[in-house]
Amino acid sequence: MKIEEASQVIKDFIKKTLGKDSKLIKVEKSEDGWAGEAEIFEENSLIKALGLNLNTKVQDRNIYEIKLTDDLEVTSYGRKDAIAKEG
């Protein structure tokens, strides 16, 4: 498989799963397939947690990590800061 194919699968998966466009910031071949990172801007978590309904353009920059098999099947994904806290 080519890196372009892996990149497109990652972008399509993020769009379908999170309903957001993303910017790929990393895609690389790994031992068991492919790994990528996508940058996504989402509603600010503090404003959302407080239930404030402000017309604000404040957004959080989140990085999502996505892992694929050699056959380009998504095996895992998650926000990178959440993954780092768990591990």
pLDDT of 87 higher than 90? no
Cα 41 → chain centroid = 10
Token pair of 51 as six digits = 């239930």
State residue 60's pLDDT score: 84
Q: What SS3 state is found at 42?
A: strand
Token pair of 10 as six digits = 């990652």
| pLDDT tens, residue by residue, 50-86 | 777 666 677 889 999 999 999 999 999 999 886 555 5
The separation between the first and the last C-alpha atoms of the chain, rounded to the nearest angstrom, is 29
What does the DSSP 8-state code read for residue 51? T
| pLDDT tens, residue by residue, 5-35 | 999 999 999 999 999 899 999 999 998 999 9
User: Domains, the chain, ranges and CATH?
Assistant: 3-86 (3.10.450)
Distance in angstroms (rounded) separating the CA atoms of residues 56 and 44: 9
State residue 56's pLDDT score: 67
State residue 84's pLDDT score: 54
Q: What predicted TM-score, i.e. pTM, was given to this entire model? A: 0.79
